[in-house]
Structure 1
Amino acid sequence: MSLAAPSLANDLPTIRAAVLKIGTVNWELATITENGLDRANGFVLEVQPFADNSGTRIAVEGGQADMAVADWIWVARQRAAGKDYVFIPYSKAVGGVVIPASSSAETLADLAGGKIGIAGGPLDKSWLILRAYAQQKYDMDLKSETEQVYGAPPLIFKSTMGEEYAGSINFWHFLAKNKAAGMRQLISVEEAGQALGLDTNTPLLGYYMKESFLADHPGLEQSFFEASRAAKDKLAGSEDAWVSIRPRMNAATDAQYDQLRADWIAGIPDRAPVDEAAADKMLSLMSDLGGPELVGGATSIPAGLFADVK
């Protein structure tokens, strides 16, 4: 149930969302505000754009914003360190490995001896899962049998288009543009995760808010979740909803637009509480692969991490 709408609009609580200026989460948030889904669920959403993720995190920590977006493993690390962050599911969209259209590779094993471009660093979660998969499936140490080149997502994207790499790992929306240009997805992180016994319906990305903020506004997490789900339903079922936000999508061609839309919709998680046992299994794997540098003190799911939304 959402919050009961107060009689006066000024009485509605406000959620200040700190987001990347060009982040794909803006597609959902714009759908919420432009269709009045926030006010219909008893709150007002204010979107504050930032240039980078560190800015959004500082804003929430310092009280200049009430909400930002992160993967739940990062949120778990913060909660284990004493911050009262609570995670609300947003998306299960993940990346994968794309290869040039001219490549003859059929499996990760075929990338041995080649160069892999990775958006992020050695602790990138997609890279870690793919390493674990290669080890299990092919008895292959992907790290030692390939050369890794780490870089910012746009740089990896551009280098991939130039066929500089045998394979590339990037965020899902950059990979969508790679695929729209004719590149081939060798394997997705979702496929690799399934092979490792992980529940890939666990939403990796979500909104996080302070528990103290939510305590001051009882029921607000469910109200926001209702608005989020309503936006997802609209985007999953209405072409007009996408036409409205297309200017925000940075899609240079119709092929990019179609692929971005299809992959975003594919990332919509089931409407269900997060399976904590499944999440704990994933966290254990991340702890084994990345150690404290990745998960900090979160070797198991911290109590209260996942918002009680249904």
Structure 2
Amino acid sequence: MARQGDQRGRGAAARWALAGALLLAGQARAQRSISVGLQAGGTLAWVTYAIGYFGIDRDLGLKVNAKTYASKDATRVALRSGDAQVVVDDFLEVTLLRQKGFDVTAVYPFSLLTGGVIVPAASDIRTVADLKGKTIGATSLTDKTLLILRAYARAKAGFDPQTASQVASVSSPLMEQFMTRGEIQAGIPFWHHGARMVSTGKYRQLISSADLLRGLGLAPNVPLLYLIARNDTDPETLRLFVKAALLAEDRMKRDDGYWDAMLKEGLYNLPDRAQLPALRAQWAAGLPKGWSSADLNNTLLLTRKMIEVAGPDVVGLTRLDTRAFNTRFRP
């Protein structure tokens, strides 16, 4: 009996020791944390919310400290100060940030160049050539799809929309209203606004960004936005965050409950829930399939094409700094 009691005692001690070891291991894993800067209204907030919603942070032993900033410029300031270690920005901006002294690198593509040119469903505009002399709404003169449209129109239709048409500055949420009033005949809204407009049946896509790229002989799956990180971020923690983001995106594609929770959380304003399937489909279409030197080369070729058509003053740089991109953070 004494020997049985001793065995039970030793067994209990072993279990406690194992539990303690597992607890310490879990605590060690949970010590990895990363600060993420979110732009108000940006889709990185969807992903960081999904990481917590699906318990991916717990499973990977990663703490994601997400903070929302009012503008993209504010996220850049947060990145420079160290208040944020990772943000999302476009492929041109990472070069510009480094030129300004930001010690940062693009570590993984976040979103492809998607969307396109939208016109009213009943419009007589049928091809890009029909845009000549029309008023086109764009969020800015440096909008990437506008620059690609200019290159495409010059190559395929013999005119530059910047000079042979009128380009009006219109905020993306207001493009539908401006088009309805006839103040613009075509628009280049953000991808999610374009998806919602087309889903109503009142508008159609004249040409997609992918088809514009194909027409220029470029790959259609060029990354537009990247996860950009401070170079002093712990590499393993950064790699873990990239893995968490990819796992979250995969779950988001398949989980209806997530989208209900995300909308309830107020991370996106969607007054008409009937537009949700179109929103989800367009978001999924914009997810990069990987990250390789070929993707970087496609980005480089696109940048050269934009500089060629619009000039370095409009694009903001004379060449893309390929050293600003790093493919070694793939999970």
Q: Aligned ranges for residues 194-273 of structure 1 at < 5 Å?
A: 194-213=214-233, 217-247=234-264, 248-273=267-292
Gaps of at least 5 residues in structure 1 are none
Q: Which amino acid aligns with 2:313?
A: E
Matched with 1:125 is 144
* Percent identity of equivalent pairs: 30
Gaps of at least 5 residues in structure 2 are 1-23
Q: Which amino acid aligns with 1:237?
A: R
Of stretches 25-34 and 244-253 in structure 1, the one that deviates more from structure 2 is 244-253
CA 1:291–1:112 in 2, change beyond 3 Å: closer, same or farther? closer
Cα deviation code 1:57-102 (max 9, x no counterpart): 1111122211211111211222244422111211114231100122
Q: Tell me how far 1:133 sits from its aligned partner.
A: 0.5
Q: Tell me how far 1:294 sits from its aligned partner.
A: 4.9
TM-score in terms of structure 2 length: 0.84
For 1:302 and 1:93, locate their aligned partners in 2 and report how far apart those are by CA, in whole Å.
Answer: 18
CA RMSD after TM alignment: 2.2
Q: Tell me how far 1:229 sits from its aligned partner.
A: 0.9
Contact 2:29 2:61 in 1 (8 A): no
Matched, 1:15 2:44: no
Q: Tell me how far 1:41 sits from its aligned partner.
A: 2.6
Q: Aligned ranges for residues 284-303 of structure 1 at < 5 Å?
A: 284-294=304-314, 296-297=316-317, 299-303=319-323
Q: Tell me how far 1:158 sits from its aligned partner.
A: 3.2
Q: 1:38 aligns with which of 57, 82, 85?
A: 57
Q: Tell me how far 1:49 sits from its aligned partner.
A: 1.2
Q: Which amino acid aligns with 2:230?
A: K
TM-score in terms of structure 1 length: 0.89
**How many matched pairs?**
302
For 1:274 and 1:159, locate their aligned partners in 2 and report how far apart those are by CA, in whole Å.
Answer: 41
Higher helix share: 2
For 1:91 and 1:268, locate their aligned partners in 2 and report how far apart those are by CA, in whole Å.
Answer: 5
Matched, 1:185 2:205: yes
Cα deviation code 1:130-180 (max 9, x no counterpart): 010111111122222211111332233432344431100121011112112
Contact 1:118 1:127 in 2 (8 A): yes
Q: Tell me how far 1:299 sits from its aligned partner.
A: 1.1
For 2:60 and 2:309, locate their aligned partners in 1 and report how far apart those are by CA, in whole Å.
Answer: 41
Contact 1:6 1:12 in 2 (8 A): no
For 2:39 and 2:129, locate their aligned partners in 1 and report how far apart those are by CA, in whole Å.
Answer: 36
Matched, 1:106 2:126: yes
CA 1:52–1:6 in 2, change beyond 3 Å: closer, same or farther? farther
For 2:176 and 2:238, locate their aligned partners in 1 and report how far apart those are by CA, in whole Å.
Answer: 35
Q: Tell me how far 1:255 sits from its aligned partner.
A: 2.9
The structure whose Rg is larger is 2
For 1:46 and 1:272, locate their aligned partners in 2 and report how far apart those are by CA, in whole Å.
Answer: 25
